[in-house]
Chain A
Amino acid sequence: MKRIYVKEEWCLGCHLCEYNCAFANSGKPDMTEALKGKPIFPRIHIEEGEKICYAVSCRHCTDPLCIKSCIAGAISKIDGIVHIDQNKCVGCLTCVLVCPYGALAPNEKGIMQKCELCIANTCGEPACVKGCPNRAIVYEERGE
């Protein structure tokens, strides 16, 4: 299946992916209305070390620890995509405790959210990939 992959040597650390993600998942038609002057809760984030930076989002693991660990039975895999049922999630953060990649964080209400590849939102394809100015984030099939 197609997944999101990053090239850290190309990432500029501009954080545009975070804004594009937050906008794509906001449900709002206008970026200003969705993001201006507000704290944003994107489903992708830039990891920054001393000399490196790159974007991290859900890896949609072949054998996801978060699904096995969710105390609410709120995480499942649908057509290869790891999906959170936010209606069932109680915000216990057990998925944060087990994700080896640091790929999940709660939304503004404390309910978990993560990258679901923009499948269900109006963007239709990963907004982070579409908006990356240096093609440091790609969406493609690799090694399966």
Chain B
Amino acid sequence: MAQYVVIGNGVAAVGCIEGIRKEDAAGKIIVISEEPHPVYCRPLISYYLEGKTNLEKMAYRDKNFYERMGCEVLYGKKAAQIDPSTKQIALNDDTVIPYDKLCIATGSSPFVPRFTGLESVEQKHSFMTIDDMLELEASINENSDVLIVGAGLIGLKCAEGLKDRVSSITICDLADRVLSSILDADCAAMMQKHLEQNGINFMLNDSAISFDKNTAFMKSGKTVRFDVLVLAVGVRANTSLIKGIGGEVNRGILISNKMETSIPDIYAAGDCTEGEDISFHDKRVLAILPNAYMQGNCAGINMAGGSSVFDKGIPMNSIGFFGLHAMTAGSYYTAEQGGELYEEKSEGTLKRLFTRGDYLTGFILIGATERAGIYTSLIRERIPLSSIDFEMLKKTATSTAFSVEKRKQFFGGVV
């Protein structure tokens, strides 16, 4: 009987476990979980602060999940080292666990730059895990002035969650715009304006360089007084286990489209990896939940002797702030890179479709996001635009733009 080991207990791990069980009902599965919690929905931590969910509802799977899946979960344990020659994992408590097939699903960790004086700040928090969030919650009250370093997805969602529970929120970022990893300048400006209208203050093109207790000293020379500091500068893939044994690692653990690492019998999935982004034609860290599940699932199937390929990875995000939703996907090629842009703008909405040659490569939608998955499918499935009525589709995301045969397949067949 095979022994499967999954290092990590997030969404990629669940994908892996469910993938293994599609192929092998009997093999033993051991899950090494650094966090002392059953799998939960990390992206929901800001919704918890907002009162839109609770700890019970944040569970990603039902409470019998591990039992039903025949998993043994080792909570509060950390894998220290892998020995691929003997196929064993040493834990931080010196336990040794053998594996036949291993999946690394270690996720990512907050990246904290070395700020001078950071140690003098009493209330400083990251915003990644449920425990980070609960600690942050315990540190705030209605009189708190909060400074968030980082205007990315994590920083902004944290701001939204905290908004009605604190006195003020200021967000600073070295970048010149919010959400710089997924929005271009115009779209970011629109979102920033909306956030400002909802009471969030920004200091962009500027960031903290040092701290002294409750004061941040900014690059611009300004100072910001705060009660609570949130550090949301960025995240780094947790690659050390594979790096430590000479496996191929770039910004993430390099994986094939079968989720294999460069080391035999070791697979990897989720935020710790760099897999193919088909809209970019190269490998990228795709640190988003859907890819984590799909990569994990693919890894699990292959670990258990099945055959699965995940070759549809693209960056994609659906994210809303104070009622304004933005959806983004794929890559945005500029004119110099051979890309073309289609744009529609109105009060409160913005649509940008990025095409190159015969393909849609990316999009940004703000405000109007109905049926956006039709656009996403064009990128994921690499559907030639010449095979559909793209002139119609540009204006409205509608399946009527597909051929009659495709529509028959979609709405008259089993898909």
Q: Does B374 contact A (CB under 8 A)?
A: yes
User: Which one of B58, B392, B414 contacts A3 once the chains associate, using CB atoms below 8 Å?
Assistant: B414
Contacts of A105 in B (CB 8 A): 370
Complex contact A92–B43 (CB within 8 A): yes
Q: How far is the CA of A61 from the CA of B61 in the complex (A)?
A: 20
Contacts of B318 in A (CB 8 A): 92-94, 96-97
Smallest CB gap from A66: residue in B: B373
Q: Does B369 contact A (CB under 8 A)?
A: yes
Q: Inter-chain contact count A-B, CB under 8 Å?
A: 126
Q: How far is the CA of A113 from the CA of B377 in the complex (A)?
A: 21
Given known pairs A49-B392, A73-B61, the reply for A98 and B399 (CB within 8 Å) is no
Contacts of A99 in B (CB 8 A): 371, 373
Distance in angstroms from B335 CB to nearest chain A CB is: 26
Smallest CB gap from A92: residue in B: B318
Q: How far is the CA of A62 from the CA of B414 in the complex (A)?
A: 8
- 1/0 contact trace for A4-23 toward B, CB 8 Å? 01111000000000000000
In chain B, positions 388-415 with a C-beta closer than 8 Å to chain A are 392, 397-401, 407, 410-415
User: Which one of B60, B316, B397 contacts A98 once the chains associate, using CB atoms below 8 Å?
Assistant: B316
Q: How far is the CA of A69 from the CA of B414 in the complex (A)?
A: 21
Complex contact B47–A90 (CB within 8 A): yes
User: Which one of B44, B320, B401 contacts A93 once the chains associate, using CB atoms below 8 Å?
Assistant: B320
In chain A, positions 48-104 with a C-beta closer than 8 Å to chain B are 48-50, 52-54, 56, 59, 61-62, 65, 68-69, 71-73, 87-88, 90-102
Complex contact B57–A96 (CB within 8 A): no
Distance in angstroms from A114 CB to nearest chain B CB is: 12
User: Which one of A6, A72, A87 contacts B41 once the chains associate, using CB atoms below 8 Å?
Assistant: A72
In chain B, positions 259-311 with a C-beta closer than 8 Å to chain A are 289-290, 293-294, 297
Residue contacts A-B, CB under 8 angstroms, 15 given: A3-B414, A7-B412, A8-B407, A47-B398, A48-B400, A59-B415, A69-B293, A71-B43, A72-B57, A87-B57, A92-B320, A96-B373, A97-B376, A101-B411, A142-B412
A-side residues, CB < 8 A to B, are 3, 5-8, 47-50, 52-54, 56, 59, 61-62, 65, 68-69, 71-73, 87-88, 90-102, 105, 142-144
B-side residues, CB < 8 A to A, are 15, 41, 43-44, 47, 52-53, 57-61, 289-290, 293-294, 297, 316-320, 325, 327, 329, 369-374, 376-377, 380-381, 392, 397-401, 407, 410-415
